[in-house]
Amino acid sequence: VDVENSVSPFPQELSAPLSTDFKLVAYGTRMVTFLNFKVYALGIYIAEADLPLIPKVCTPELLASLNSDASKTNSQKMAAILLDPAHSNDLTEKLLDAGIRFAVRIVPVRNTDFNHLRDGLVKSILAHPAVKKSNDVVSEGLGQLRAIFGARKGSVPKNHVLLIERLATGALKVQYQKRIAGEAGKADTFENLEMGQVLEPSVGKFLMLQYLSPTKPLSKDTRDRAIEKFSRL
């Protein structure tokens, strides 16, 4: 899938080095609004085995309790709920609490470094309004995230890959893939580095809530595609 013309297309499916098979459900670009430039292309993937959990969690009864508009189909209700600031977090948290595993594939569209990637993730998570209510546990988790990136020095060239996988435990596994250009007509390959794990599950929860935020998503086009996909499952 062509996500951004300055980086390589994203695969529809991911497997190794991830822990299971994942399918692409949404993609787009992360913008820095006040500077009006793109930072990275991203894809959100859901574990293939967990896709059936989405309609199991989002039952007609649950959707009706969050949106009482009888004129809407269940798909329309789900889309409306995920765009509703009053109920979006409730529904997304129910999906995450059901154990749905996701992976975020981040590909910088310009040369950057691990410090900038770390700072961007930390700021994004801290920007969620509910973080203050869970400040102690989130702070512990962000300390783990900072340590993972702090142990890795140097640049992250454009078109290399950062993989963030939410495991069944709720922990986040972070991996870096150095892209090696393929020779004449051959596909690129990757040198994989396991950076570490964030064991505190609230970090992954708030990161996903920010990607799907109804008011200030980290990537609006990604959020919109995710809602469209979820409402069709």
The rounded distance, in Å, linking the Cα atoms of 36 and 93 is 31
Single-letter amino acid, residue 151: A
Consecutive H or E run containing 144? helix 135-150
Alpha-carbon gap, residue 48 to 99, rounded angstroms: 13
Q: Is 203 exposed, middle or buried (0-12, 13-18, 19+ CB in 10 A)?
A: buried
User: For position 102, what pLDDT does the model report?
Assistant: 96
CA 58 – CA 228 distance, rounded (Å): 14
Per-residue confidence (pLDDT) for residue 33, from 0 to 100:
66
Q: Of the CATH numbers 3.50.30.40, 3.30.420.40, 3.50.70.10, 3.30.450.20, which one belongs to the domain with range 13-51+100-212?
A: 3.50.70.10
Q: What are the residues whose beta carbons fall under 8 Å from the beta carbon of 97, sequence distance 6 or more?
A: none
Q: Cα–Cα distance between 29 and 197 in angstroms, integer? A: 25
Task: Give pLDDT, residue 95.
Answer: 93
**Under 8 Å between Cβ of 21 and 15:** yes
Q: Provide the residue-wise pLDDT of the chain in tens; the chain has 233 residues.
A: 999 999 999 999 999 899 999 999 999 999 876 667 889 999 999 999 999 999 999 999 999 999 989 999 999 999 999 999 999 999 999 999 999 999 999 999 999 999 999 999 999 999 998 888 888 889 999 999 999 998 888 899 999 999 999 999 999 999 999 988 877 778 888 889 999 999 999 999 999 999 999 999 999 999 999 999 999 87
pLDDT score for 34: 65
> What separation in angstroms does the CA of 110 have from each of 37, 83, 104, 158?
10, 31, 18, 5
38 neighbors 13 (Cβ within 8 angstroms): no
Q: How far is CA 57 from CA 22, 79, 114, 214, 227, in A?
A: 19, 15, 36, 20, 15
